Amino acid sequence: MKTGPKGSDGRVGAKAALFDLDGTLIDSERRSLVLWGLLLTNHGVDHDETLLREFMGRRGPDVLAEKATLFPGRRVEDLLAELISYLDRPGLPEISPVPGAADLIRRIDGHGLPVVLVTSAHRWWAESCLELVGVGDVVRTIVSAEDVTVGKPDPSGFLLGARAAGVRPGECVAFEDSLAGIAAAKAAGMTCVGVATTHHASELSAADLVVSDLAGVDWPLPLYGDFPV
């Protein structure tokens, strides 16, 4: 297992913690699957869960441009507007904090380390979700879809987050649930904790550590830990 810089006590000597949002701090998987499913269905695209998961953890503009052949003749901007309009539909699955999210963030903040949010979502969504989790007063730096030109798996969002925290990328620990997000964090040179909410733990082998959720995650991170997966 690859790890970040080691402290004298045998733990990862991180100087900042960077968190993804959807699937990492909030459980929004079911809602996201429904929203993308509605878009595909309304455009006559046959799909299964495997295809739906290819849209997860990505910036909407990036993944829609990549999947343009599924929506012939449609502009990415129009598809995004349609997707957002579905948020007003009644009966969508509820979103809720991932277990342990608020406690872990407050413990990291209590150690005097900056906590940065790096998300593929828009800033308005990020800010509302941080309030839902109960850490809007702690997470003061947000890197959102508006701040990058290319989203995950490109590392630019995480690199911006490290710069905002005033530390080197190799001194950061990133928490991610998606394959694209883990790839982005590792490409940025960070230690990465994979959170097995969206994907099965066995699919997150590129991460340095894998946890089922954020409950019971120790801080500072041990180099080797008995985490439930």
Tell me how far apart the alpha carbons of residues 198 and 10 are, in angstroms, rounded to a whole number: 30
Active-site residue, 22 included: yes
Tell me how far apart the alpha carbons of residues 101 and 19 are, in angstroms, rounded to a whole number: 10
Strand partners, 193: 175, 209
Tell me how far apart the alpha carbons of residues 108 and 228 are, in angstroms, rounded to a whole number: 20
Strand partners, 11: 222
Q: What are 146's two structure tokens?
A: 């508006």
Asked if 204 contacts 183 with a C-beta cutoff of 8 angstroms, the reply is no
Active-site residue, 147 included: no
Instruction: Determine which one of 9, 22, 46, 154 is catalytic.
Output: 22
Tell me how far apart the alpha carbons of residues 121 and 70 are, in angstroms, rounded to a whole number: 22
Instruction: Determine which one of 20, 62, 177, 208 is catalytic.
Output: 20
Q: What are 164's two structure tokens?
A: 């905002």
For the annotated catalytic residues, the residue numbers are 20, 22
